Chain A
Amino acid sequence: MLSFDGLVAVCVLYVLILFAVAFIAEKRATEGKARWLNSPITYTLSLSIYTTAWTFYGAVGSAVRNGLEFLTIYLGPTLVFIGWFWLLRKMVRIGRAQRITSIADMISSRYGKSGGVAALVTLLSVIGATPYIALQLQSVTLSFSVFADGGALGAPDADQTAIWVAAGLALFTIVFGTRSLDVNERHPGLVSAIALEAIVKLAAILAVGIFVVWGVADGPANMLARIEVSPINNTAWNGARWLGLTVLAGAAILCLPRMFQVLVVENTDERHLATAGWAFPLYLLLISLFVVPIAVIGLEMFGSDANPDLFVLTVPLGLGQDGLALLVFLGGFSAATSMVIVAALALSTMLSNHIIVPFWLRLTRHDDPMSGDMRRVALTARRLSIAGVLFLGYGYYRLSGGADALADIGLIAFLGVAQILPALLGGILWRGATRVGAALGIGAGFLIWVWLLLIPNIAETGGMMPAILSDGPFGLTWLSPATPLGLQATDPLLTAMVLSLGVNTLLFILGSLMSFPSPLERLQGAQFVNVYDHSQPLYGWQGATGAADDLLVMAQRILGAGRAGRLFETAAEAQGRTGGVPEPTPDFLERLERELAGSVGAATAHAMVAQIVGGASVSVRDLLAVADETAQIMEYSIQLETKSEELAQAAARLQEANAKLTALSRQKDAFLSQISHELRTPMTSIRAFSELLMQDEGIDDAARARFSRIIHDETLRLTRLLDDLLDLSVLEHGRVTLHEGETALSDVLERAVRIAGAQDGEGRLKIIRDHDSEAVTLWTDADRLTQVFINLISNAQKYCDAAHPEMVVSVRQMPGRIQVDFADNGSGIPTRQQALIFEKFARADTARGAPGAGLGLAISREIMIRLGGGLSYVPSEQGTRFRVRLPLRLRRAA
């Protein structure tokens, strides 16, 4: 027989192997090479944490006491798994689409990310799991005690064993469960270690079974014959318990935090479910196949006085099969450790995410929950939680003193977590389920369960039954856990199950029907229930390197090849990797996200990165944030568009003004040369002729008179030019005095035509007038108006290039004003010069070479503005047409 210290040595060796496997798996996974990690077989094996030490050893005991009842614990999960297409697939899809990290996260996400519901589920899970962990520690210490003959280290001390096991498990879980805050909460190292443990425990139980059936009994037929004569054949068969326990086991596999961890969170490929759907039931079948034979042989060998819970171990030991016994011991050890590791991991995630970190945030009023500092807090919280959960389990084990009552805790824990079931199923199948209903249902079911089962069990484990439990609080016996509602319950578990789940479901439905969900809750409800419409299946886990490549492609698309390349290279160098592709660590992802956020907005960046790294689809909150950003960007772009339109208009106006200025400047240059010419010509003649006169010899009187007249004429011309300039300046500066009086329009016209020398038969321009329409009396400055008319007529005399020049003067009376048009039959003014003709230095090209300084029209326009009217050029098909507008008034308003 193996000594105790030999056993410890084997255990330590086994644990070292597990560490090595986990370490290698982790390493290969980060290199993206671990294909076997991504296989459906690994996934199925990791699910085997369902069969804990409790079922590994306890199933045989259960078979001895209750016959086939142990099968229900496997039948329930089998039913759930063969229906994987209906329920499990949906859960996995939701878990992936919503980046769910735990069962509490699942429930809270569904019900509008409610922190309260998450905390409630976490509390429930921790309370349910603590005794269960104690149970595992008990199994391990019990199995140690079977090899009880002591060695160099002395006889096994149960407490010592338990604390060493607990500490070892905490270490393993912390090392491989919290290496980093992984973006997708997957733990390849842990999963591979668990898969290995699954193989060990299956091999162990199969080995014992085969040894019993073919080694002890004489094959299956002989075995069946032995069963018929065994005491097991006479065990009671309870149909109600059969139904109830099957349902309970089915519910538990959906709700147990550790099962949720391996089933949903660690799932890498939705198609693995198709394999697990039949392979996991097969695993369960193989585990339970030899339970009854082992029980029968155990009873044959040791009688009914021995502890049937340890038959798996004592039968091979009793037959002298030490090697086999050691294998069984390792199998039981595996079953216990794998359960505790995953449970501690799942619970620590929940505790840290839903209780510690929110509490810490509230305490410190941290305003940036995703900073690196926060990540450290979360990691520490998680490590402390793992240690805390295991310490709780150990404490409970010490408290219970390894009592037999602990064995019942397995089913009690199942019922505890099953309180989540109504909210879970309702949440993914019924859009109408609300947070209020979920909280009410879970809360009520939880309280009923605690009162009817947990407290009595703890009391019984502690060895005392206070009166408050047996007689009910305040002496109300109908409240007592022993006789709830006055029922003489024969089976406390089934009674509590019906009561707690019944009230839970009822309150869940009523609460949902009567409350009104928040918008986020309704959106999440739609996302959960119609998850197939909103998400793509996850096929295959992208290895880390693959993800980094995808990230690089995406980053290049957004940041440009150069910048993205530099970013990735720097990050790779910082990580000490060559080849320019960094490992997608949280730090790097955060930095990349920030870089991307600068281009596409924070929410979009987060969604894009998550899509690649997490293989996740976008959550509603992400979508809402993206929509917000998009709306902001759209508004901004509309503003920009409006502004750019305004700018374009301003630019067009400026261009126009510039063109005008350029033209004006050209005209001014032309005018200056013109005016200097105009001034110079008379000056030259005056100087020349006055010099001639000064010579005073050989000049006769006639010549002298002619010279004097020329000088005089030229002086007049100069004076007129200067008068014009002065006149314009005076008009422009508004310093002109008007001599207004009553006058007839016809008189003014008559005078203008006469002065311009354009009367009938005089000059070459023919004026055509309509005297009837000219009979209008005006109140105006007649001299000034005459000046304007003269200017217009003389312009026509000068510039009209028709063979027989004609000018039509037409008068129209309009309401409140008079309009006088002067239209000739010349070629008109080119369009591009029409805008300039009224400028004071302007002269039309057609006027070039003709006398005049180009001041006439400018002066006329100023005069008309002073007179309260206006002068404009009217574009027409033929000839030049100027329009004079005059106010029609008899007296000045003043």
Chain B
Amino acid sequence: MARRLFLGRRTYRQNRLQDAARLLPILGMVLGFAPVFIRGDATLLGGADLSNWLVYYFVIWIGLIVLTAFVSWSLTRSDRKDAADVTPPPPPRAEQR
């Protein structure tokens, strides 16, 4: 972080973090529903089908949890910083709809 070109850098970062927080459930939906389209109604394939999907689901689940934890932690961290500042960050545009 040698360069500090704009004062608004942190606000910008904050807004992108909020974007990420809003996009997380969409990522979750894509990952969670993908098997519906990939797997289809394939029940007769046999083999290691179910245990593979079980592992798949727990892996993406953990992935989503870790991602959410990171984004939430970053968001609240900047919140805490902002609490010390005089002016709070402007509410993100999507909220003003």
A binding-site residues for B, Cβ under 8 Å: 67-68, 71, 75, 78-86, 90, 224, 227-228, 232-239, 242-243, 246, 271, 274-275, 277-279, 281-282, 285, 289, 292, 429, 529-530, 532-533, 539
Return the CB mask of B18-60 against A: 1 if under 8 Å, else 0. Answer: 1001101100110011011101111100111111011101100
Contact yes or no, B43 A85, CB < 8 A: no
Given contacts A271-B79, A274-B75, A539-B83, contact A224 B55 (CB under 8 A): yes
Contact yes or no, B51 A227, CB < 8 A: yes
Give B91's nearest chain A residue, CB to CB.
A532
Chain B CB count within 10 A is highest, among A227, A274, A279, A429, for A274
Contact yes or no, A239 B65, CB < 8 A: no
Interface of B is mostly: helix
Complex alpha-carbon distance, A797 and B7, angstroms: 93
Contact yes or no, A85 B96, CB < 8 A: no
Contact yes or no, A234 B43, CB < 8 A: yes
Chain B residues with CB below 8 A from A232, complex form: 50
Min Cβ gap B47→A in Å is 7
CB-defined A-B contacts under 8 Å, sample of 23:
A67-B50, A68-B57, A78-B28, A79-B32, A82-B28, A82-B64, A85-B18, A86-B22, A224-B48, A227-B50, A235-B43, A236-B41, A236-B43, A242-B36, A243-B36, A271-B79, A274-B76, A275-B72, A277-B69, A281-B68, A285-B62, A530-B95, A539-B83
Contact yes or no, A78 B54, CB < 8 A: no
Given contacts A85-B22, A232-B50, A239-B37, contact A277 B57 (CB under 8 A): no
13 further contact pairs, Cβ within 8 A, besides A90-B95, A227-B51, A274-B72: A68-B50, A75-B61, A78-B28, A82-B64, A83-B28, A227-B50, A237-B42, A239-B40, A277-B72, A278-B65, A281-B61, A289-B58, A532-B95
Give A240's nearest chain B residue, CB to CB.
B36
B binding-site residues for A, Cβ under 8 Å: 18, 21-22, 24-25, 28-29, 32-33, 35-37, 39-43, 46-51, 53-55, 57-58, 61-62, 64-69, 71-73, 75-76, 79, 83, 91, 95-97
Complex alpha-carbon distance, A85 and B28, angstroms: 14
Complex alpha-carbon distance, A233 and B51, angstroms: 8
Contact yes or no, B41 A237, CB < 8 A: yes
Contact yes or no, A292 B22, CB < 8 A: no
Chain B residues with CB below 8 A from A533, complex form: 91, 95-96
Complex alpha-carbon distance, A71 and B71, angstroms: 24
Chain A residues with CB below 8 A from B21, complex form: 83-86
Min Cβ gap B60→A in Å is 10
Chain B residues with CB below 8 A from A79, complex form: 25, 28-29, 32
Contact yes or no, A78 B22, CB < 8 A: no
Min Cβ gap A512→B in Å is 16
Give A234's nearest chain B residue, CB to CB.
B43
Contact yes or no, A78 B64, CB < 8 A: yes
Min Cβ gap B1→A in Å is 24
Complex alpha-carbon distance, A278 and B40, angstroms: 30
Chain A residues with CB below 8 A from B58, complex form: 285, 289
Min Cβ gap A371→B in Å is 40
Chain B residues with CB below 8 A from A90, complex form: 95
Complex alpha-carbon distance, A67 and B39, angstroms: 14
Give B18's nearest chain A residue, CB to CB.
A85
Chain B residues with CB below 8 A from A530, complex form: 95-96
Complex alpha-carbon distance, A23 and B82, angstroms: 38
Chain A residues with CB below 8 A from B64, complex form: 78, 82, 281
Min Cβ gap A685→B in Å is 97
Min Cβ gap B10→A in Å is 18
Contact yes or no, B54 A292, CB < 8 A: yes
Complex alpha-carbon distance, A258 and B96, angstroms: 30
Min Cβ gap B95→A in Å is 5
Chain B residues with CB below 8 A from A234, complex form: 43, 46
Q: Which of B24, B37, B65, B72 contacts A282 (CB 8 A)?
A: B65
Chain B residues with CB below 8 A from A235, complex form: 43, 50
Given contacts A224-B51, A281-B65, contact A246 B32 (CB under 8 A): yes
Min Cβ gap A593→B in Å is 30
Give B61's nearest chain A residue, CB to CB.
A285
Min Cβ gap A284→B in Å is 8
Contact yes or no, B39 A83, CB < 8 A: no
Chain B residues with CB below 8 A from A279, complex form: 69
Complex alpha-carbon distance, A730 and B73, angstroms: 105
Q: Which of A67, A68, A277, A529 contacts B68 (CB 8 A)?
A: A277
Complex alpha-carbon distance, A75 and B42, angstroms: 21
Complex alpha-carbon distance, A289 and B58, angstroms: 8
Chain A residues with CB below 8 A from B96, complex form: 530, 532-533
Min Cβ gap A429→B in Å is 8
Complex alpha-carbon distance, A238 and B39, angstroms: 10
Contact yes or no, B72 A239, CB < 8 A: no
Chain A residues with CB below 8 A from B43, complex form: 234-237
Chain A residues with CB below 8 A from B37, complex form: 239
Chain B residues with CB below 8 A from A239, complex form: 35-37, 39-41
Give B50's nearest chain A residue, CB to CB.
A233
Contact yes or no, A86 B50, CB < 8 A: no
Min Cβ gap B35→A in Å is 8
Complex alpha-carbon distance, A275 and B39, angstroms: 33
Contact yes or no, A278 B36, CB < 8 A: no
Chain A residues with CB below 8 A from B48, complex form: 224, 228
Min Cβ gap A82→B in Å is 4
Min Cβ gap A442→B in Å is 24
Contact yes or no, B32 A82, CB < 8 A: no
Contact yes or no, B57 A71, CB < 8 A: yes
Chain B residues with CB below 8 A from A227, complex form: 50-51, 54
Give B27's nearest chain A residue, CB to CB.
A82
5 nearest interchain CB pairs?
A83-B25, A85-B21, A278-B69, A239-B36, A274-B72
Complex alpha-carbon distance, A278 and B58, angstroms: 14
Complex alpha-carbon distance, A786 and B88, angstroms: 92
Complex alpha-carbon distance, A233 and B45, angstroms: 10
Contact yes or no, A80 B25, CB < 8 A: yes
Q: Which of B24, B46, B53 contacts A82 (CB 8 A)?
A: B24
Contact yes or no, A246 B33, CB < 8 A: yes
Give A81's nearest chain B residue, CB to CB.
B68
Contact yes or no, B68 A82, CB < 8 A: yes
Complex alpha-carbon distance, A86 and B76, angstroms: 14
Give B36's nearest chain A residue, CB to CB.
A239
Complex alpha-carbon distance, A282 and B72, angstroms: 14
Contact yes or no, B51 A278, CB < 8 A: no
Chain A residues with CB below 8 A from B62, complex form: 285
Min Cβ gap A178→B in Å is 34
Given contacts A232-B50, A271-B79, contact A82 B39 (CB under 8 A): no
Contact yes or no, A243 B42, CB < 8 A: no
Contact yes or no, A68 B61, CB < 8 A: no
Complex alpha-carbon distance, A396 and B62, angstroms: 39
Give A83's nearest chain B residue, CB to CB.
B25
Chain A residues with CB below 8 A from B18, complex form: 85
Contact yes or no, A274 B54, CB < 8 A: no
Chain B residues with CB below 8 A from A242, complex form: 33, 35-36
Give A272's nearest chain B residue, CB to CB.
B76
Given contacts A235-B43, A237-B43, A243-B33, contact A85 B75 (CB under 8 A): yes
